[in-house]
Amino acid sequence: MRARLLFLTLLVLAGCSRQREDAHLLNEVKRRLSERDARLTSYRLEGRTGEGGAEPVGFSFAYRAPQKMRGSLGAPISRTFSWDGERLFEQSDADKRFTTFQTELSPERRSGFLTETFAPFTPEGFRAPLLPAELSAKRTSHARAPEAVELAASVADPSGESLQVTYTLRWPTLDFLGRQSRLADGTTLEVRVEEEHCDKALELCVPQKLSRWVKGEKVGETTLSKVELNPTLPNDSFTLAAPEGYEVQTKTLVDAAGK
C-alpha cells in the first residue's frame, strides 16, 4: 500500500512539475513574441499570391507600428486599402471610386475589422499571431529548426464551430514556421514556410515564400519578391487622397449594437 501511495505521489509531483515547466515556457514565449514585435517596427512587401489554378495576383503592403497599414492588389482587382490610425481609405481603380470610412467601432470590433480587411495583404510570420487566452505550449523540432515550440489552442471559427489551431515557431527567435488548423469534421488546413528572409541585425527571420494546403494537397502559394524590414515610412504615406475624376464618398462604420 505504501509503495502504491509513493508511486501515486511521484506521479502527481511529476505532473505538477511538468505543468510548471509548460507555464514557464508559455510565459517566456509571450515575452519573446512581444520583444520580437518591438524590434520589427515597420516593413514593406511586394509579391504575388494565387489560389488553385488561378492566375497569381500582384500585391504590395506596408506596415508601421503601432497600427498603420496600406495594401494594394494589382490587376484585374486594382484596389488599395489604407488605415492611417483614424480613418480607412478604399481606392478602387477599376470603377474610379474613392471612399473614406470614419469609425465609431469599439476597439475590439475595430481590431477585428482591420484584421479582416488587410488579411489578403499580410502573410503570416511578420507580426506575432493573435493568440487566445486559453493556450498551451510545448517544445518540439522542425525541419527548419532543431529547436522549436508549438502553441496550441481551440478557437471558434466564424460559424461557431470548434477549430484546433497549432503554430510552430523557431526557438528562441520565434520565427514563424507553420500553422495547422483542424476543423470539427477532421479536415486539416496548413500554412508552410518554404523560404525565409533573415536579418542578422534584427535577429529574426520572416517568410519569403509560403504555401497553403488542404487535406495534404497544395491549394495556394504566396511569394515575396521584395522584403524591407524597418524602412522609414512617413505618416502621410498612409493617408490617401482621391485621384482626379474619382467618385468620392464618406461612410461611417458603427457597431451593430449601436445602430
DSSP per residue, the chain: -HHHHHHHHHHHHHHHHHHHHHHHHHHHHHHHHHHHHHH--EEEEEEEEEETTSPPEEEEEEEETTTEEEEEE-TTT-EEEEE-SS-EEEEETTTTEEEEEEEE--HHHHHHHHHHHHGGG--TTSS-----SS-EEEEEEETTEEEEEEEEEEEE-TTS-EEEEEEEEETTT--EEEEEEE-TTS-EEEEEEEEEEEETTTTEEEEEEEEEEETTEEEEEEEEEEEEES----GGGGS--PPTT-EEEEEEEE-GGG-
Q: Domain segments of the chain: what residues?
A: 33-258
Please state the pTM of the whole predicted model: 0.84
> Going residue by residue through the chain (259 aa), what tens digit of pLDDT does each one get?
655 655 444 445 445 555 677 789 999 999 999 999 999 999 999 999 998 877 899 999 999 998 899 999 998 889 999 999 999 999 999 999 999 999 999 988 888 889 889 988 888 999 988 787 789 999 999 999 999 999 998 877 666 677 899 999 999 999 999 999 998 888 999 999 999 999 999 999 999 999 999 999 999 999 999 999 999 999 889 999 999 999 999 999 998 654 4
Task: Specify the fold of 33-258.
Answer: outer membrane lipoprotein receptor (LolB), chain A (2.50.20)
